[in-house]
Every structure is written in structure tokens, then in C-alpha cells.
Structure 1
Amino acid sequence: MAKSRHGKAPKTDKADTADGVAAQAKYAGEVQSTSANVDYSLRRRTLLRDVRSGRVDVAEACDASPYLLSASRFHGEESTRRCPICRRENLWLVHYIFGEELRASAGQARNRAELAVLAREYRHIDVYVVEVCRGCAWNHVVEYFAVGRADAEAAITTNVTPLAARRSLTASHGLARDISRPRRTGITQR
């Protein structure tokens, strides 16, 4: 085990992985993750440390919108973790979906069952998992992952950068021109 510069083993926040929040969603069938997971536990710990030390006001950290609270009621999944601020209620996990193919559905909250169905229909869906406390309105992004069909030509491996994935999507689907590369006009400068 690694030691800090003070010679002590670093503390770990066991609550962050207690119920597998940071674990990637597993879906049956042709669905697979199209990118690596992004875990926001370090940012979460920093915010909680700042709240406890008084650098950040509790009202600033507990600022969930009415829409997020409503989404937790209709689309959320109850977690086994207690709220780190009020410590009275369990946290709820809400999955928000984004993607070019989703059109009007982008930005909506969905539950895991709906995610599995959508992931089979679309090539790429970005999913942000937000934890929210219905009691004190604490909320924080917990995780990001992407899912989609296995036959998608875009970024199926986890070592593809977002820029490479965007170039691949642009080239294979005839979407708008990739602005990361200059356009060839056929005019030469002298």
C-alpha cells in the first residue's frame, strides 16, 4: 500500500464504492460501453471537505433544482448510501442521457431499464449519473459513461480519445464537417 509523505497510509472513502456506484453499468445483449468511465469521487470529496471546513456554504452545495428532485422521484434509483450532508436520507441516483441521435430526448432522465433499451437502438449515448438527496437537496455528478450498439463504428475501444471518436462519427455517418481539421479548398497560396 502506498504511503503519504507523512508515512501514513492514505485514507479511502469506502462509501464511494460501497454500493458499486462507480462500477460500470452492465447490460445484456449487444450493448457495450463505448468509452471509459469517468468517476467524479475526487471532486465530490473535495467539495465535501470544503463544506465541512466552512469554505463552501451548505446552501451552495445543497442546491438541487426542482427538476432534479422530480427526476429522482420518477426515474431515480435508491442508493444504500446516506447523504453526506444531512445523514438522514439515502441518496437517489438519476441517469441523464445525451447524444446527437437522441434529438428531443437528449437531456432527459432515464432509469437503467430504459437505458438498456435505448443503448440497443442508438450507436452512442453519453450517460451522466447524478446523486441527489431529497431531504436537503445535496447533488453531485457521480459518474460518466457511454453506451451504444456493439456494431457502431465509432469509438468502441476505451483508448480512443474524444477527438478521434468525433472524427470517426463524422466520417462514418456523414454528419457536419469535422472542425478540428482545416477544410481543403483547392486554392493554393503562392
Structure 2
Amino acid sequence: MTPGCPEPAGAVTLGFMRTQRQVVSHALRRRATLEAMRRPDAVMMESDPCDADPLLIRSALHHGVPSGSACPVCAGGRLSVLNYVFGDQLGQFSGRIKQPAELDEMETRFGEFTVREVEVCPDCGWNFMLSSYTLGDGHRRRPPRHQQTVEDIYG
């Protein structure tokens, strides 16, 4: 969110993150995809945007932050936003879903990592990456030690 710019209706934002940088918004591509879906004669150039993986839908149901707006495809009220984190300094925790409060805490514990916001509708399968940005205090750190997980123990 750029200071001084109005926030779109129903938008989910994390508020002001102190170290947020390299923000890439996919709002224009999202709008173009939705318009292409609404045209009766249009053939989708990309894969179907309503083809969410069952694991993504399950993640949205259990770990997603409600968006507060209706799904742009089916008008369902269960549209959720997931925040995936990626980065070398996260070690084995790269690729996990984090809540906004956890991102706020991670911002000072890690030097640099990328957050990808994905919106998912469990009703129709709509999924789209809303934005990506970098967080972290900029100080290079070693990844945390590998901690045993259930997969390590039981294979």
C-alpha cells in the first residue's frame, strides 16, 4: 500500500511493515484474468484460475486470513488470503504459511525473506497471487538448525 493512495474496497493488507520493500502487485493481471473469464467467447491463455489444488483449498480453510470481501468469481463469502514465506535464511521453514502477527515478528528475526500473498476461494477454487514483497532487517544470518519434524521421524 502506497502512502497517500486510497485502499481498494475489501482489500486485505498487513498494514505498515517497517522493512517491507520490493513490492510487486499483481492487481492488473488479476483484473485482466477476471475480465477474460467474464467474456463468453474468450479462451483462457493460462491455466484455469479456478483450479486450486486440494491442499491449497485445505490450507485456506485452516490457515487463511478472511479477506472480508466476496469471491470475484462465485461471490462466495469464504475468500481467504494465505501468506507464504520463502528465503535461504529461513532454512527448513521456507515455503510455510504465516499469519500476519508471525510476519511482524519474523521481520526483525531474519535478514531477508520473500512473502507471497495468495487469495483462495474454497467454494469455486479461485486462486491468484495478489502480491509479493521482501521483508527482513537486511542483516545476513545463518539459517536455523534443522529441527526434526514428523516426516523425519516417521518417513
Please, what TM-score do these two structures have when normalized by structure 2?
A: 0.76
Q: 1:66 aligns with which of 44, 51, 54?
A: 54
For the residue of structure 2 that corresponds to 1:80, the secondary structure is coil
Unaligned runs of 5+ in 2: 1-5, 143-155
Q: 2:19 aligns with which of 14, 18, 32?
A: 32
* Offset, 1:24: 5.8
Question: Who is 1:47 aligned against?
Answer: 33
CA distance in 2, matches of 1:94, 1:72: 7
CA distance in 2, matches of 1:111, 1:42: 25
Q: Number of aligned pairs?
A: 134
CA distance in 2, matches of 1:105, 1:63: 26
Question: Who is 1:141 aligned against?
Answer: 129
CA distance in 1, matches of 2:71, 2:77: 6
CA distance in 1, matches of 2:52, 2:15: 24
* Alignment map for 1:120-135 (pairs within 5 Å): 120-135=108-123
For the residue of structure 2 that corresponds to 1:26, the secondary structure is coil
CA distance in 2, matches of 1:101, 1:36: 18
Please, what TM-score do these two structures have when normalized by structure 1?
A: 0.63
Question: Who is 2:150 aligned against?
Answer: none
Contact 1:24/1:37 (8 A) holds in 2: no
* Offset, 1:124: 0.7
**Which amino acid letter does the alignment assign opposite residue 36 of structure 2?**
D
* Offset, 1:126: 0.3
* Alignment map for 1:1-190 (pairs within 5 Å): 17-21=8-12, 23=13, 25-27=15-17, 31-33=18-20, 35-53=21-39, 54-56=42-44, 60-149=48-137, 152-153=138-139
CA distance in 1, matches of 2:89, 2:108: 13
Contact 1:96/1:107 (8 A) holds in 2: yes
* Offset, 1:103: 1.4
Unaligned runs of 5+ in 1: 1-13, 154-168, 175-190
Larger radius of gyration: 1
RMSD: 2.5
Contact 2:11/2:67 (8 A) holds in 1: no
CA distance in 2, matches of 1:94, 1:103: 20
Identity %: 28
Contact 1:89/1:134 (8 A) holds in 2: no
